[in-house]
């Protein structure tokens, strides 16, 4: 046998074609169907790139490469994510069946579907697109070809393909139209498109930012004539045909129609509890109604079952769902992982449709047994899914989640990228001395805590987490010895050198981590409330403050004072508690840092139709300085200000999500 010939089987060696073996097969271990998934991924890689994924000069070198090495990167397309998922070294990290792989191929936007050829989401002027499309179409056709006597297959069809962020799709009551949000940056709008074709129509532009509202309240009136949606100011309405929108409820995020009527039910959260008010007719002053409950928890999403006998509630902006008999209760938490989004009831009033963004799954959840049944699996993020009337089909938003950390100068002009990496680079935080940044990264179903050196540009991974963690805020202690971060419904600390993390406490929707100047305490936000807890652990958190109508995402701890947003104000409160004192009224903003001398506080503002901006506030006088517009049209989630006040690190979203419909899943 000639050296390097991989297509013959040498006597006494592992059986199989070396270039297409799985790692477990190359090691001579027991294999199952997931080994075939890896081999199929190697074939897809070769079809897409024209080169073998693990080709070496000899068979032993090839086997070693399969076990240890990663193949060269493919272009950044949805098909690349499918191939990478197939080629995971660990079987548990791959597609768990050929069926799941086939569905994923159909959702790439490159494979043919039952509605015709799917168009690529990106411009097609690249020499790799044709082989990519051929590979996806051929593979999907082979895997999804119907077999004699087989059950009906799922049918994925493109609905709206755009090089943008499309999310929160919602069917009209007659099933003939779909409303959805387009855009995550300053140019976003509420769109309506008919199911049978036609161009999408913009009907409103004052849409709240979907990146900060993962459940996103959006629903139609019972007659289909109006659409209610989450605007920048609260819950607004607009005619389904377009026209001028109107604000119905200022400062409200969670609302739903009471089943069988046109009355609105509004969630009013305060002091860790939520009560439910009724507006009837819609837009009238919300009032209490006899028999309506008050539940523990601050809820940001409401979904009633069709017969009104049950309710599913989402806690704040987080990913914790509870169900209850309506209106008697009691509440019971659902055990659904993977950053679940936008629950919706099936017609049986017992099962819920839920999107698991992390893991790219649409699932059916039985609220009585707690069982979770997958309906559809994608290698990419699925941000939202909604049933059509009758539950025979659904529409979902699927795409690639990406963000970068971009530096901006004191004049707002963009500078270099910070700690560039594949995946979602999240929520940067400058150290007190301005020498480094802590951040998190999500990529291929794992998250990591990292630090970046401003002097050298080096990136170091401090900790790799088992699962993706959305909205992780990693913050360096003032003495630069530890990092505090929120993850897996808790608050953790870890040495900057790595090692074993320490869990300080359990909390459902904890965000806004801030250290005290002496590194002895950590302040954090939960909904509209601000707490502090000992950084050494072993003590209960102390409630310091409750904001007026604003979810607190960041605070600042300067000296013996903590600063937090409250309504349109920024307030100062003692680190030991007490009555808050207003220092300025900059509007609806988030705190994003302060200067090293503690004289200037910075806040971050996202105003509809305008560029994101950073605003300085003189703490002593409360004077609001000149705003600094960040020169970008992309969605900016968060900003961290350098202690000098002359550099900004921003999390800039570059995600792309398209809309698809799915049929064939009904029982």
Q: Is 243 left (phi over 0), alpha (psi -120 to 50) or beta?
A: left
Using CA atoms, how far apart are residues 28 and 127, in angstroms rounded to an integer? 38
Q: How confident is the model at residue 155, as a pLDDT?
A: 86
Residue 200 near residue 193 (C-beta atoms within 8 A): yes
Which residues fall within 8 angstroms of residue 499, CB to CB, at 6 or more apart?
none
Which long-range contacts does 136-140 make (Cβ < 8 Å, 24+ apart)?
Answer: 136/79, 136/82, 136/105, 136/108, 136/110, 136/111, 137/110, 137/111, 137/112, 138/47, 139/40, 139/44, 139/47, 139/102, 139/105, 139/111, 140/102, 140/105, 140/106, 140/111, 140/112
User: 615-664: per-residue pLDDT in tens?
Assistant: 999 999 999 999 999 998 888 889 999 999 999 999 988 888 899 999 98
Q: How confident is the model at residue 229, as a pLDDT?
A: 92
E strands, 287-337, in order: 287-288, 294-296, 299-304, 310-315, 321-325, 332-333
Top pLDDT among 542 and 146 is at 542
E strands, 432-536, in order: 436-443, 446-453, 459-465, 474-476, 482-486, 490-495, 498-506, 510-515, 521-526, 529-534
Q: What is the DSSP letter of 293?
A: -
Proportion of the chain above pLDDT 70, given as a percent: 85
DSSP per position, 229-256: EEBSSEEEEEETT----EEEEET---EE
Hey, which of 355-364, 410-419, 501-510 has the most confident mean pLDDT?
A: 410-419
Q: Nearest Cα to 168, choosing from 116, 115, 204, 122? A: 204
* Tokens coding 622: 């409360």
Q: Nearest Cα to 567, choosing from 542, 545, 595, 538? A: 545
Residue 269 near residue 263 (C-beta atoms within 8 A): no
Q: Please check the confidence at residue 421 and state whether its pLDDT lies above 80.
A: no
Chain mean pLDDT for the chain: 84
Q: Please check the confidence at residue 139 and state whether its pLDDT lies above 60.
A: no
Q: Is 625 left (phi over 0), alpha (psi -120 to 50) or beta?
A: beta
User: 205-243: per-residue pLDDT in tens?
Assistant: 888 876 555 678 899 999 999 999 988 788 999 999 999
Q: Please check the confidence at residue 176 and state whether its pLDDT lies above 80.
A: yes
Q: What Rg value do the Cα atoms of the chain yield, rounded?
A: 26
Top pLDDT among 149 and 498 is at 498
* Tokens coding 587: 């509007």
Q: How confident is the model at residue 461, as a pLDDT?
A: 94
Residue 92 confidence class, pLDDT cut points 50, 70, 90: confident
Residue 116 confidence class, pLDDT cut points 50, 70, 90: very low
98-107, 347-356, 458-467, 483-492 — which is least confidently predicted?
A: 98-107
Q: What is the DSSP letter of 212?
A: G
Q: What is the mean pLDDT of residues 60-67?
A: 86
Q: How confident is the model at residue 387, as a pLDDT?
A: 96
C-alpha 529 chain-centroid distance: 23
Residue 643 near residue 596 (C-beta atoms within 8 A): yes
Using CA atoms, how far apart are residues 496 and 483, in angstroms rounded to an integer? 6
Q: Nearest Cα to 94, choosing from 356, 374, 359, 362? A: 359
CB atoms inside a 10 Å sphere around CB 464: 12
Residue 455 confidence class, pLDDT cut points 50, 70, 90: very high
Q: Please check the confidence at residue 462 and state whether its pLDDT lies above 90.
A: yes
Which residue bears the tokens 């499918």? 82
Residue 380 confidence class, pLDDT cut points 50, 70, 90: confident
* Tokens coding 76: 């950044």
pTM: 0.70
Top pLDDT among 148 and 265 is at 265
Residue 360 near residue 352 (C-beta atoms within 8 A): no
Q: Nearest Cα to 575, choosing from 487, 514, 500, 630? A: 514
Task: Encode 83-109: b = buried (16+ Cβ within 10 Å), e = exposed.
Answer: bbbbbbeebeebbeebebbbbbbbbbb
Q: Please check the confidence at residue 572 and state whether its pLDDT lies above 50.
A: yes
Top pLDDT among 140 and 330 is at 330
Question: For the chain, how are helix, strand and coil distributed in percent, rounded to 5?
Answer: 10, 40, 45
Using CA atoms, how far apart are residues 391 and 413, in angstroms rounded to an integer? 48
Q: Please check the confidence at residue 9 and state whether its pLDDT lies above 50.
A: no
| The 490-495 sheet, strands edge to edge | 474-476, 482-486, 490-495, 498-506
User: 384-407: per-residue pLDDT in tens?
Assistant: 999 999 999 999 998 877 888 999
Using CA atoms, how far apart are residues 398 and 263, in angstroms rounded to an integer? 33
Which residues fall within 8 angstroms of residue 121, CB to CB, at 6 or more apart?
78, 109, 161, 162, 163, 399, 656, 658
Q: Please check the confidence at residue 320 and state whether its pLDDT lies above 90.
A: no
Using CA atoms, how far apart are residues 59 and 18, in angstroms rounded to an integer? 6
Residue 426 confidence class, pLDDT cut points 50, 70, 90: confident
Angle at 661 (CA atoms; ends 659, 662), nearest 5 degrees: 140
Q: Please check the confidence at residue 149 and state whether its pLDDT lies above 60.
A: no
Proportion of the chain above pLDDT 90, given as a percent: 45
- Alpha-carbon distances of 596 from 63, 145, 408, 626, rounded to whole Å: 54, 64, 19, 19
What are the phi and psi torsion angles at 81 (to 5°)? -65, -40
Using CA atoms, how far apart are residues 166 and 638, in angstroms rounded to an integer? 20
What are the phi and psi torsion angles at 69 (to 5°)? -95, 160
C-alpha 314 chain-centroid distance: 15
Which residue bears the tokens 């049944």? 373
What are the phi and psi torsion angles at 63 (to 5°)? -60, -40
Residue 598 confidence class, pLDDT cut points 50, 70, 90: very high
Q: Please check the confidence at residue 146 and state whether its pLDDT lies above 50.
A: no
Residue 545 pairs with which residues in a beta bridge? 530
Residue 499 confidence class, pLDDT cut points 50, 70, 90: very high
Top pLDDT among 248 and 103 is at 248
**H/E segment holding residue 372:** strand 372-377
* Tokens coding 516: 């005290």
* Tokens coding 90: 């660990």
């Amino acid at each position: 046998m000639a050296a390097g010939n991989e297509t013959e089987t040498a006597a006494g060696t592992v059986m199989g074609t070396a270039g297409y073996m799985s790692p477990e097969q190359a090691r001579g271990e027991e294999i199952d169907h997931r080994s075939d998934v890896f081999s199929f991924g190697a074939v897809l890689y070769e079809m897409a790139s024209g080169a073998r994924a693990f080709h070496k000069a000899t068979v032993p070198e090839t086997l070693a490469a399969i076990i240890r090495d990663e193949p060269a990167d493919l272009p950044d397309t949805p098909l690349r994510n499918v191939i990478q998922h197939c080629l995971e070294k660990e079987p548990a990290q791959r597609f768990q069946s050929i069926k799941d792989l086939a569905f994923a191929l159909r959702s790439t936007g490159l494979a043919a579907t039952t509605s015709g050829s799917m168009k690529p989401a990106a411009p097609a002027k690249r020499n790799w697109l044709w082989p990519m499309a051929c590979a996806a179409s051929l593979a999907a056709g082979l895997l999804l070809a119907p077999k004699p006597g087989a059950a009906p297959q799922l049918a994925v069809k493109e609905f709206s393909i755009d090089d943008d962020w499309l999310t929160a799709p919602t069917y009209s009551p007659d099933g003939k139209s779909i409303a959805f949000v387009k855009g995550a940056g300053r140019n976003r709008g509420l769109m309506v498109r008919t199911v049978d074709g036609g161009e999408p129509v913009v009907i409103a532009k004052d849409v709240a930012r979907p990146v900060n509202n993962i459940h996103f309240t959006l629903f139609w009136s019972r007659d289909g004539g109006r659409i209610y949606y989450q605007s920048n100011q609260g819950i607004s309405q607009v005619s389904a045909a377009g026209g001028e929108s109107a604000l119905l409820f200022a400062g409200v995020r969670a609302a739903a129609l009471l089943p069988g009527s046109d009355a609105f039910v509004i969630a009013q959260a305060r002091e860790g509890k939520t009560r439910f008010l009724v507006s009837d007719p819609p837009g009238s002053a919300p009032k209490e109604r006899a028999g309506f409950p008050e539940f523990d928890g601050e809820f940001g999403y409401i979904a009633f079952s069709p017969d009104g006998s049950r309710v599913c509630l989402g806690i704040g902006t987080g990913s914790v769902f509870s169900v209850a008999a309506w209106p008697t209760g009691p509440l019971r938490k659902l055990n659904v992982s993977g950053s679940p989004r936008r629950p919706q009831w099936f017609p049986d009033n017992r099962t819920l449709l839920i999107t698991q963004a992390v893991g790219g799954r649409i699932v059916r959840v039985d609220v009585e047994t707690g069982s979770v049944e997958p309906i559809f699996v994608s290698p990419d993020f699925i941000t939202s899914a909604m049933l059509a009337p009758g539950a025979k089909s659904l529409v979902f938003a699927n795409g690639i989640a990406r963000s970068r950390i971009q530096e901006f100068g004191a004049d707002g002009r963009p500078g270099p990228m910070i700690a560039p990496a594949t995946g979602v680079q999240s929520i940067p935080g400058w150290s007190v001395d301005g020498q480094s940044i802590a951040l998190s990264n999500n990529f291929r179903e794992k998250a990591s805590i990292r630090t970046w050196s401003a002097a050298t540009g080096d990136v170091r991974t401090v900790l790799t987490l088992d699962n993706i963690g959305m909205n992780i805020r990693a913050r360096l202690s003032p003495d630069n010895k530890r990092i505090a971060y929120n993850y897996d419904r808790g608050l953790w600390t870890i040495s900057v050198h790595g090692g074993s993390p320490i869990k300080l406490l359990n909390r459902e929707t904890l965000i806004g981590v801030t250290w005290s100047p002496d590194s002895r305490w950590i302040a954090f936000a939960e909904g509209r409330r601000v707490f502090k807890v000992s950084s050494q652990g072993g003590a209960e958190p102390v409630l310091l403050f409750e904001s007026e109508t604003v979810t607190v995402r960041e605070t600042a701890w300067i000296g013996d004072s903590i600063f937090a947003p409250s309504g349109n104000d920024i307030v100062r409160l003692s680190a030991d508690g007490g009555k808050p004192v207003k220092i300025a009224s900059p509007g609806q903003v988030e705190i994003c840092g302060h200067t090293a001398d503690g004289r200037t506080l910075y806040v971050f503002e996202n105003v509809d139709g305008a560029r994101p901006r950073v605003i300085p506030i003189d703490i002593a006088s409360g004077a609001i300085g000149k705003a600094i517009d960040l020169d970008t049209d992309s969605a900016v989630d968060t900003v961290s200000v350098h202690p000098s006040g002359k550099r900004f690190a921003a999390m800039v979203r570059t995600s792309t999500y398209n809309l698809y419909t799915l049929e064939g899943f009904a029982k």
